[in-house]
């Protein structure tokens, strides 16, 4: 019985000495890769929750002939720094560095980027300085309303605290939500530094703009979720870039910020299929 070869996996460390980044490079098992894909992780607990999705997506894309980089941006995973260094613009620069590193290791002629939740915003920011080799960006459950996202993180943080102890905490974490100064600096175990809070506070449906590059953008959203409603509101504005944006509605009901796996799949099958089609198919 012949067993199909598995994709190779290589841990990379790259970037300047003061900002070393990490990447897991998945390469096809046989022929040279047909293209490259950089995977941009979401923020905090959402990165943990979506880890399995990213791993399965990378392996499936590699088996289909693509070289895939799972990026640990500065202050995350195996990269230098810690979560107090969270910065959307800094992470956008890390995506550009990861794209260069991927192309240097594989000699692919073009690349695509994918980002879930806040990872999608990071990819779109990086696209403001995108190389000509970037062919497409795929975003899923994109965070558009920054203040709304901050409110969601505060609520999830308080809910997690309230559920984490068998003895009732005093004061009640849920009651503390009435204090606008409470739970500003942490989100379900991850730091929310002032720079990141400021960047999120400036994000809104009204201010959102698609980048001028690349030539193709795919936006995947659950039509029943808040992010899907925000995306629909952006598209209704009729931006000049909107014709380049292909929207896919995928109902998967995932709560990416939940710190447990109850009630929703770690790898939503319909979302995985949509991502494979968007990242692995023709532009």
**pLDDT at residue 84 in the model:** 95
Q: Report helix, strand or coil for 114.
A: strand
Calculate the CA 55 to chain-centre distance: 13
**Nearest Cα to Cα of residue 70 among 45, 37, 48:** 37
Inter-residue contact 227 to 221 (CB < 8 Å): yes
**CB neighbour class for 72 (10 Å; exposed up to 12, middle 13-18, buried from 19):** buried
Measured CA to CA, the distance from residue 250 to residue 225 in angstroms comes to 10
Name the region of 120 (left: φ>0; alpha: ψ -120 to 50; beta: rest).
Answer: alpha
**Nearest Cα to Cα of residue 13 among 84, 56, 69:** 69
Q: Report helix, strand or coil for 210.
A: coil
Q: How does pLDDT run along the chain (283 residues), one tens digit per residue?
A: 445 678 899 999 999 999 999 999 999 988 789 999 999 999 999 999 999 999 999 999 999 999 999 999 999 999 999 999 999 999 999 999 999 999 999 999 999 999 999 999 999 999 999 999 999 999 999 999 999 999 999 999 998 888 876 666 677 888 888 888 888 999 999 999 999 999 999 999 999 999 988 989 999 999 999 999 999 999 888 766 666 899 999 998 888 887 665 556 789 999 999 999 999 865 4
* Phi (first) and psi of residue 268, to 5 degrees: -60, 120
Measured CA to CA, the distance from residue 278 to residue 283 in angstroms comes to 8
Domains and CATH numbers, the chain: 8-144+205-280 (3.40.50.1820)
Q: Which residues contact 97 (CB under 8 A, 6 or more apart)?
A: 14, 15, 21
Averaged confidence pLDDT in the chain: 91
Inter-residue contact 110 to 135 (CB < 8 Å): yes
């Amino acid at each position: 019985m012949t067993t199909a070869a598995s994709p190779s996996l290589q841990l990379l460390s790259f970037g300047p000495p003061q900002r070393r980044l990490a990447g897991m490079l998945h390469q096809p098992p046989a022929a040279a890769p047909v293209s490259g894909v950089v995977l941009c992780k979401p923020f905090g607990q959402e990165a943990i929750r979506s880890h399995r999705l990213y791993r399965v997506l990378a392996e499936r894309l590699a088996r289909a002939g693509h070289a895939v980089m799972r990026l640990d941006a500065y202050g995350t995973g195996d990269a230098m720094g810690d979560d107090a260094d969270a910065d959307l613009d800094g992470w956008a620069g890390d995506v550009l560095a990861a794209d260069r590193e991927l192309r240097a290791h594989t000699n692919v002629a073009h690349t695509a980027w994918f980002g879930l939740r806040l990872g999608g915003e990071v990819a779109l920011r990086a696209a403001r300085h995108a190389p000509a080799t970037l062919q497409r960006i795929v975003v899923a459950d994109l965070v558009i309303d920054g203040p709304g996202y901050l409110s969601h993180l505060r609520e999830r943080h308080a809910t997690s605290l309230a559920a984490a102890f068998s003895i009732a905490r005093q004061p009640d974490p849920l009651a503390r939500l009435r204090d606008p100064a409470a739970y500003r600096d942490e989100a379900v175990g991850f730091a929310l530094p002032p720079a990141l809070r400021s960047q999120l506070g400036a994000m809104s449906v009204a201010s959102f703009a698609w980048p001028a590059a690349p030539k193709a953008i795919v936006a995947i959203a659950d039509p029943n979720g808040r992010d899907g409603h925000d995306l629909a509101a952006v598209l209704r504005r009729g931006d000049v870039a909107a014709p380049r944006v292909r929207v896919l509605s995928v109902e998967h009901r995932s709560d990416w910020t939940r710190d447990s796996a109850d009630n929703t799949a770690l790898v939503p099958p319909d979302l995985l299929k949509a991502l494979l089609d968007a990242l692995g198919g023709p532009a």
